[in-house]
């Protein structure tokens, strides 16, 4: 198994997900104007199922269940925003919480900045 497999399967925690209606999952049809999916919140990957089964919180019931038929909105494009102005604490979040990523490879010279030599 490749070390990068987990990275390919990684999803944004807390992003909105759309779960296909159970009737459609079973191959049945729905009435024309009935919603085909419901929105939930992605809370990670299920430890008891395949690696592509996500744990989803139902927004109405707050119940968390494993779901297979999902569409992930990792860019939060379907979430409306009330304001064009960022909250006051926004800058502090990025000052105090940083993640350092170390890569185990060396960049070729063509990818380096002139200041990096």
Q: What is the dihedral of CA 66, 45, 10, 13, to 10 degrees?
A: 80
Return the closest-CA partner of residue 19 out of 3, 2, 46, 42: 42
Q: What is the pTM of this model?
A: 0.60
DSSP string, 30-75: --TTS-SEEEEEEEEE-SSS-TTPEEEEETTT--EEEESSEEE-TT
Predicted pLDDT at 32: 85
**pLDDT tens for the 117 residues of the chain, in order:** 456 656 666 788 888 999 888 777 788 888 888 878 888 999 888 888 877 788 899 988 999 988 888 888 888 888 777 777 776 766 666 665 555 556 666 767 777 777 766
Block residue for tokens 């008891």: 48
Structure tokens at 14: 């807390």
Please list, in sequence order, all residues whose beta carbon lies within 8 angstroms of the beta carbon of residue 9, skipping any fewer than 6 positions away. 45, 51, 52
């Amino acid at each position: 198994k490749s070390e990068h497999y987990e990275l390919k399967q990684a999803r944004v925690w807390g992003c909105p997900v759309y779960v296909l209606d159970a009737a459609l999952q079973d191959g049945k049809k729905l009435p024309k104007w009935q919603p085909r999916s419901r929105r939930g919140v992605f809370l990670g990957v299920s430890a008891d199922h395949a690696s592509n089964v996500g744990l989803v919180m139902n927004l109405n019931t707050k119940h968390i269940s494993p779901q297979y038929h999902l569409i992930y909105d990792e860019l939060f494009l379907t979430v409306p925003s009330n304001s064009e102005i960022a909250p006051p604490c926004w800058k502090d979040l990025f000052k105090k919480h940083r993640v350092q990523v170390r890569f185990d490879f060396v960049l070729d010279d063509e990818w380096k900045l002139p200041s990096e030599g």
